[in-house]
């Protein structure tokens, strides 16, 4: 498995988890009574989870040097750099290199 595949998997899992969470929050809107504060809390909680999920994509650590990839992790994970092979800004390893053995691929 390459670092690119690892980043894409992490991005996909984050998006899937966020969508499932938002579906649960959306369904719970129907079960919650028409009390404004409960619905407001659910809306704020849903917004906070979406922001945290989006932010976490910019904090993915490089599997080689364990420093944050920043925008590169988000861009590679979302497929924006499909035609090129960018490198980690800290240790200069290519995202098409093999994943180091110390990182679990899941």
- Report the pLDDT value the prediction gives residue 104, as an integer from 0 to 100: 57
pTM of the model: 0.80
Q: Is residue 30 part of a domain?
A: yes
Give the pLDDT band (50/70/90) at residue 84: confident
pLDDT tens-digit map of 51-62: 999 999 999 998
Beta bridge partners of 94: 87
Q: Is residue 94 part of a domain?
A: no
- Report the pLDDT value the prediction gives residue 105, as an integer from 0 to 100: 59
Q: How many domains is the chain partitioned into structurally?
A: 1
pLDDT tens-digit map of 24-74: 888 877 777 777 888 888 889 889 999 999 999 999 998 888 899 989 988
Q: Is residue 106 part of a domain?
A: no
Helices (H), the chain: 3-31, 36-56, 71-78
More confident residue, 106 or 97: 97
Kindly report the length of the chain.
106
Domain extent at residue 53: 3-78
CB of 68 closer than 8 Å to CB of 60: yes
Q: Is residue 49 part of a domain?
A: yes
Q: Is residue 33 part of a domain?
A: yes
Q: Is residue 58 part of a domain?
A: yes
Q: Is residue 97 part of a domain?
A: no
Q: Is residue 41 part of a domain?
A: yes
Beta bridge partners of 68: 61
CB of 53 closer than 8 Å to CB of 18: yes
């Amino acid at each position: 498995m390459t670092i690119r595949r690892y980043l894409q998997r992490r991005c996909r899992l984050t998006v899937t988890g966020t969508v499932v969470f938002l579906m649960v929050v959306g369904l719970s809107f129907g079960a919650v009574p028409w009390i404004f504060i409960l619905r407001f809390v659910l809306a704020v909680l849903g917004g906070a989870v979406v922001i945290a999920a989006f932010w976490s994509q910019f904090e993915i650590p490089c599997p080689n040097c364990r420093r944050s990839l920043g925008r590169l992790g988000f861009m590679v994970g979302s497929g924006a750099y499909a035609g090129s092979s960018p490198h980690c800004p800290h240790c200069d390893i290519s995202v098409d290199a093999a994943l180091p053995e110390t990182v679990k691929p899941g």
